[in-house]
Amino acid sequence: MVSRLAQTAGCDNGGDYGFSTFTVNPDQITANYVSLGGFSDNYAIKVPNPPGDFSVNSGVVSVSQGIVGGSGIYSSFGTLNINSFGSFSSSVSLAVGSVSGGLAGTCPGSNCPTLSVSPTTVQPQADGTVSSTLTVSTTTGTPCGNPQQSPASEYSVTLTATSGSMTPRSLTVHIYVYAQSDPTKDGVDNIVDVALVNGLFGQNLGAPRYNPNIDLNNDGRINIIDVTIVNSRFGTVC
Amino acid sequence: MRMKGAGSAVAIVASLVILSIAFHAHATSPPNLSMPNMSGQCLNNGATFVTALTASNMTSVQSWQLNLTFTTGKLAVMNYTLGSAFNGLSTDSTSGNSTSTGYYLLGFTFQGAAGPYTTTFPVTLVTFTWKALVYHPTVFFHIVTSAQNGLFGTMLLDPNQNSQSYTTTDGFLGCQLRPSP
């Protein structure tokens, strides 16, 4: 960003015909001509705005093993944002690349997470943002873990956004896969996970204390099934 | 008479100060988790025995996790029984153990609106039943702290899953006196 400044330029034509003072700001250059003969004039040199452009961004998508759907931590859903700048409002096509990462031999393979995006074509309003939903699917055999502790447990996928003849934009989305029994997402199932589930035991969807993040199987009920899930893996590392 | 009254007042104030200090020390001292010292106990191979793990001065404990390790090759894990304060309705416990690697990991929590638990008296968290695998076993029991194992160490949690501080006293079993650490 160019800040506003004033500058006296050397348009003196030998010193007899006057000079111009220039004021520069991000949008235009304004000059004020001062004549030694007693008159002045103003004129502006306008710089056109750059052409419209867009960007894409997304956060980390956290999913659990073998769960599809729901609205909690284990929702399988992420959001891809397409942002317009400079009145850009053209159609943008989204394409998903192949998933990589995970323990050796996981990707490509039957336990590698799969990703889809919907809708695949979006059109942001000028200077606005439009979103598309990323859906990640895993199997119960997809290797999981806390990427902060075990970097190999991180997956990634490259998304490409294209609009007309513009240079395609690429975005790498990071995917973290946690155990179904690990609502704290620290890579282990310990008493904190057990306490969280049991603390909300009996809370159903719509109840004031219901928390979809603790509803481990995403069935709208925090019940003995969730307790069993978290108890069955107590003491394990994922 | 006036002197007598003043003396009584001083005595009362002094008593209150002492009581206050004692109460303060008691109220702020963290719980101590303790395994027994069974020095001088000579067990035959195959004998079963129990050890109680106790805690003192628990305040607002909603859940706890206990990580106990023991000398391998001397004992076999049999089972455990929660203390009476922790085996009622609306509770949940889960465990994992290994005789070969010598550990017992136990988790307990109150469910739903039940709990938390507060007491100023010593209370039994759990009673373990063991079986001697050798003649006159010598066994060290160690309570693994959360400082030693951040995620699977022993924890006392309040209703918001915040860890509380505590101290530990390890246990011992053997014919001889417990060696100095």
pLDDT tens-digit map of A93-137: 999 999 999 988 899 999 999 899 999 999 999 999 999 999 888
Number of domain units in chain A:
3
A41 lies in the same domain as A54: no
A197 shares a domain with A168: no
| Domain that includes residue A96, residue range | 50-178
Distance separating alpha carbons of residues A71 and A25, to the nearest angstrom: 48
Across the interface, of B111, B152, B159, the residue whose CB is closest to A190 is B152
How large is the angle between the packed helices A224-232 and A191-199, nearest 10 degrees?
A: 180
Render each residue's pLDDT in chain B as its tens digit; 181 residues. 444 455 555 455 445 444 444 444 445 689 999 999 999 999 999 999 999 999 999 999 999 999 999 999 999 999 999 999 999 889 999 999 999 999 999 999 999 989 999 999 999 999 999 999 999 999 999 999 999 999 999 999 999 999 999 999 999 999 998 887 7
The answer to whether B109 contacts A194, with C-beta atoms less than 8 Å apart, is yes
Domain shared by A68 and A164, yes or no: yes
The CATH number given to whatever domain includes residue A202 is 1.10.1330.10
B157/A198 Cβ within 8 A? no
Residues A105 and A206 in one domain: no
For chains A and B, CB pairs below 8 A equal 66
Give A-chain residues touching B97 at CB under 8 angstroms: none
Instruction: Evaluate whether A226 touches A180 at the Cβ level (below 8 Å).
Output: no
A48 SS3 class: coil
Pairing outcome for strands B37-39 and B58-61: unpaired
Please tell me whether residues A37 and A55 are part of one structural domain.
Answer: no
| Cβ atoms of residues B92 and B157 within 8 Å | no
For B155, the closest of A191, A202, A230 (CB atoms) is A191
Do A207 and A167 fall within a single domain?
A: no
| pTM of the entire predicted model | 0.73
Buried b (16+ CB within 10 A) or exposed e, B152-173: bbbbbbbeebebbebebebbbb
Nearest CA in chain B to A195: B109
Point out which residues pair with B63 in neighbouring strands: B109, B157
Residues A52-105: tens digit of each pLDDT: 899 999 999 888 887 655 544 455 678 999 999 989 999 999 999 999 999 888
ipTM tops 0.85: no
